[in-house]
């Protein structure tokens, strides 16, 4: 049975936010254990607090030292700090940020030890984590750096809608420093590989958005389309990848044009996330392409105003767990499909030359 299940790590996120509640309510459903072996990185104090707050008996947890000890059919829990903090639902604090960071770091340790096949990260507060780790700007960049990965992409996923970002958590006033032809080329290549490996798209079609109003309107409203984006598209297209654009971002989603593509590359955070969250606010999933581990998360934040009330929607978090399982299986299938290919026959090559 264990061989058929995907071992999924879950970092608890901010213990004062909705992360613990999402985990508890998701894994209170015994059916989910038919698909994965969950390993939660958290403080037992947080679990006890929220189970009591929600009036739930399940899920019961099994304490382990690391994910290598995880058992199927159970919610396995790795303690991340010796003394758990006092939970104060709905309050942002440096102490809560420290707990969230400890859980994430412990999960990354097990990723590096190859104890996990996937990692799902519950929401944390970037500000409180940054108080403990200056320079922290989010899960995506931190995990990639910890694993030594430079080329990666944030991809928002909901059914057939996939929106990737060329730049992520940067101030809009600094966009010009980060948005370069090289960056766009790297993101397109990572996205193309991920569509093939993680989503089973054999010949993916990718749309690229412009950065200026009306995609620059022929240079009247900005030159970046002509000097940066179009050259990047041409460079990638020459390698045989189906990459098109730049398209005007203001009408691309509303017109339904996105349905003609397997993924869309937006130039900056809000350009991609505003339309995505309009379509899929409650069920979208954040996926990091280009990592050796499958990493997903819900596409929302800590929602302090909902913490401990039992009213937060678990759909996005639950989807993040199942999307992680699905992508792991896609990668396994891809490896199986393309392993041990038959060698090209020299005799066949000679016959081909003779025939033509």
pLDDT at 12 exceeding the cut of 90: yes
User: 55: helix, coil or strand?
Assistant: coil
pLDDT higher than threshold 60 for residue 172:
yes
The model's confidence at residue 281, banded by pLDDT at 50, 70 and 90, is confident
pLDDT range class, residue 1, cuts 50, 70, 90: very low
pLDDT at 219 (0 to 100): 81
Alpha-carbon distance of 318 to 239, in angstroms, equals: 37
CB atoms within 10 A of CB 338: 9
* Residue in 113, 116, 112, 140 with CA at minimum distance from that of residue 126: 140
Confidence at 221, pLDDT banded by 50, 70, 90: confident
Is it true that the peptide bond before 115 is cis, omega within 30 degrees of 0?
Answer: no
pLDDT of 272 over the 50 cut: yes
* Residue from 323, 324, 273 nearest 299 by CA: 273
Q: How far is the CA of 298 from the CAs of 4, 68, 75, 84, 283, in angstroms?
A: 25, 25, 19, 24, 8
Return the domain boundaries, the chain.
1-149+312-356, 150-290
Band (pLDDT 50/70/90 cuts) for residue 340 is low
Q: Confidence band (pLDDT; 50, 70, 90) for 342?
A: low
Residue 149: half-sphere exposure toward Cβ, Cα within 13 Å: 19
| Token pair belonging to 64 | 């382990």
Structure confidence at residue 181 (pLDDT): 96
Give every CB contact of residue 134 below 8 A, 6+ residues apart in sequence: none
Residue of 125, 118, 123, 77 lying closest to 97 (CA atoms): 125
Given a cut of 50, whether residue 192 has pLDDT beyond it is yes
Average pLDDT of the chain, as a whole number: 91
Mean pLDDT of all residues in 286-306: 94
Return the higher-pLDDT residue of 281 and 356.
281
Query: Rounded distance, CA 224 to CA 226, Å?
Result: 5
Q: Are 257 and 157 in contact (CB under 8 A)?
A: no
Ramachandran assignment for 308, one of left (phi > 0), alpha (psi -120 to 50 degrees), beta (any other): left
In sign, the C-alpha dihedral spanning 270, 275, 276, 277 is positive
Q: Please report, rounded to a whole number, the percentage of residues in the chain having pLDDT higher than 90.
A: 75
**Which residue reads 């639902």 in tokens?**
89
Which tens digits make up the pLDDT trace of 72-99?
999 999 998 877 778 999 999 999 999 9
Give the mean pLDDT of 210-229.
Answer: 87
Distance between CA atoms of residues 142 and 208, nearest Å:
26
Do 1-149+312-356 and 150-290 have matching folds?
A: yes
- Mention the CATH class of domain 1-149+312-356: alpha beta
Q: How many CB atoms lie within 10 A of CB 185?
A: 18
Question: Omega into 86 within 30° of 0, i.e. cis?
Answer: no
In CATH, the architecture of 150-290 is 3-Layer(aba) Sandwich (3.40)
Lowest mean pLDDT among 2-6, 186-190, 270-274, 285-289: 2-6
Closest to 207 in 3D by CA, of 178, 170, 237: 237
Q: 355 pLDDT exceeds 60?
A: no
**What's the distance, Cα to Cα, between the start and end of the chain in Å?**
53
Q: Is the pLDDT of residue 116 over 90?
A: yes
Predicted pLDDT at 23: 94
Q: How confident is the model at residue 354 (pLDDT cuts 50, 70, 90)?
A: low
């Amino acid at each position: 049975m264990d061989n058929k299940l995907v071992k999924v790590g879950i970092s608890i996120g901010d213990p004062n936010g909705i992360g613990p509640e999402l985990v508890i309510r998701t894994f209170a459903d015994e059916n989910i254990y038919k698909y994965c072996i969950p390993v939660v990185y958290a403080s037992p104090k947080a679990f006890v607090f929220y189970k009591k707050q929600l009036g739930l008996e399940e899920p019961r947890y099994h304490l382990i030292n690391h994910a290598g000890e995880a058992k199927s059919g159970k919610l396995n829990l790795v303690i991340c700090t010796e003394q758990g903090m006092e939970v104060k639902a709905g309050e942002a604090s440096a102490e809560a940020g420290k707990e969230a960071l400890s859980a994430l770091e412990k999960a990354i340790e097990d990723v590096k030890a190859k104890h996990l096949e996937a990692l799902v990260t519950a929401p944390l507060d970037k500000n409180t984590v940054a108080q403990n780790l200056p320079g922290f700007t989010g899960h995506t960049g931190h995990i990639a750096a910890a694993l030594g990965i430079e080329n990666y992409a944030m991809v928002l996923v909901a059914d057939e809608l996939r929106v990737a970002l060329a730049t992520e958590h940067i101030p809009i006033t600094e966009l010009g420093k980060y948005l370069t032809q090289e960056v766009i080329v790297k993101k397109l290549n990572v996205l193309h590989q991920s569509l093939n490996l993680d989503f089973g798209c054999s010949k993916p079609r990718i749309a690229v958005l412009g950065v200026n109003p009306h995609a620059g309107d022929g240079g009247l409203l900005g030159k970046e389309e002509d000097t940066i984006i179009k050259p990047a598209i041409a460079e990638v297209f020459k390698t045989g990848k189906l990459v098109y654009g730049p398209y005007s971002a203001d009408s691309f989603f509303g017109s339904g044009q996105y349905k003609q593509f397997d993924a869309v590359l937006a130039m900056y955070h809000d350009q991609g996330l505003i339309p995505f969250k309009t379509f899929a606010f409650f069920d979208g999933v954040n996926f990091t392409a280009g990592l050796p581990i499958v990493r997903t998360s819900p596409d929302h934040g800590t929602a302090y105003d909902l913490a401990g009330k039992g009213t937060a929607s678990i759909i996005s978090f639950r989807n993040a767990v199942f999307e992680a399982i699905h992508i792991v299986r896609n990668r396994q299938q891809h490896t199986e499909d393309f392993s041990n290919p038959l060698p090209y026959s020299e005799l066949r090559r000679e016959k081909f030359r003779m025939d033509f």
